[in-house]
Structure 1
Amino acid sequence: MKKIYHLSTCDTCKKILKELEPPQSFILQDIKNEPITGEQVDEMERLAGSYEALFSKRARLYKERNLKNETLNEAQYRKLILEHYTFLKRPVIINNGEIFIGNSKKTVEAAKKAING
C-alpha cells in the first residue's frame, strides 16, 4: 500500500508533500475531509508498533483537555485519534509496509529516500 494521510490546511503537510513529490501510485487522504477509520488506524498501529507513536502531543486539544497530566493507555490513544483528526501526528506516510510518522527532518528525509530511491 502507498498512502499519505495528511491535512490539506496544514502548511507543514503542504510543504512536505511538495518536497516528497509522491508518484501517482500514492493515495492521498485528507484526514479532515475523509476521517480515518478504525481499520486504517489499526493498520498504522501494526506498522508503527503503538497508537502512542501515532499520537500528536502537540495538538491544541491535547493541551486544552489537559491530557498531559493523564497517563493514557493504548486504547485511549486509539479512541482520541479516531475522535478528532488533530490527534493524529501528521503526515503519516505508508510505503509498501514501511511507515513514516510526523514532520521531523529525519523522518521526511527517510520517507523521501524510500519513495524516490
Structure 2
Amino acid sequence: MKNTIYYLASCDTCRKIIKSLPKDANLEYHDIRQNPLTEEDLNTMVSLAGSYEALFSRRAQLYKERGLKNQVLTEEDIKTLLLEHYTFLSRPVFIIDGKIYIGNSQKVINEVISVLS
C-alpha cells in the first residue's frame, strides 16, 4: 500500500499542511475533488479508522445546509454521504505505513510530520 494523502487542493488548510511536510515525503497525493473517493478507498480508510464516523466532518457546509445535525446518522448514512460528496470527509487524511491520520489538528499534523521525517 502506498503512503497517501487525501486532501482538497482548493483548501487553504490542506495547502498549508502540505507545505509543512518534509520535502522528501514520499506520498501519493489524492485530490478528492478531482478524483472522488471510491468505495475501495473508503473501505481502506474505515478498516484503519474503525468507523465511518471517524472520517466524517461535521463542519462541512452541506452538513449545516441539509440540516443533518438534527438527524441521527447511522454508519450506513455516513458512508453514503462520504461517497456522495468530498466535503463530508474530515481533511486531510493520511495513510502512512498502514496507519491512518485524520484531520488537521496540530497533534495529528505533528504526528504525521514526525512519521515522515
Q: TM-score, normalised by structure 2?
A: 0.95
Task: Name the CA distance, whole Å, in 1 between partners of 2:101 and 2:23.
Answer: 14
Paired residue type of 1:106: K
- In the other structure, the counterpart of 1:71 is 72
The sequence identity of aligned pairs, in percent, is 50
Aligned residues: 116
Task: Name the CA distance, whole Å, in 2 between partners of 1:106 and 1:70.
Answer: 30
Q: Secondary structure at the match of 1:58?
A: coil
Backbone CA RMSD of aligned residues: 1.0
Q: Does the CA contact (< 8 Å) of 2:25 and 2:116 recur in 1?
A: no
- In the other structure, the counterpart of 1:62 is 63
Task: Name the CA distance, whole Å, in 2 between partners of 1:71 and 1:113.
Answer: 37
Q: Secondary structure at the match of 2:42?
A: helix
Q: Does the CA contact (< 8 Å) of 2:9 and 2:31 recur in 1?
A: yes
Q: How does 1:3-18 map to 2 (within 5 A)?
A: 3-18=4-19
Structure 1 unaligned regions, length at least 5: none
Q: Does the CA contact (< 8 Å) of 1:22 and 1:115 recur in 2?
A: no
Q: Does the CA contact (< 8 Å) of 1:81 and 1:87 recur in 2?
A: yes
Q: Secondary structure at the match of 1:21?
A: coil
- In the other structure, the counterpart of 2:31 is 30
Task: Name the CA distance, whole Å, in 2 between partners of 1:93 and 1:10.
Answer: 15
- In the other structure, the counterpart of 1:102 is 103
Task: Name the CA distance, whole Å, in 2 between partners of 1:113 and 1:93.
Answer: 13
Superposition misfits of 4+ residues, deviation over 4 angstroms: none
Structure 2 unaligned regions, length at least 5: none
Paired residue type of 2:111: A
Q: Secondary structure at the match of 1:36?
A: coil
Q: What whole-Å deviation, never above 9, does each CA across 1:25-49 have from its counterpart, x for those lacking one?
A: 3100000000010000110000001
Report how far residue 21 of structure 1 moved.
3.0
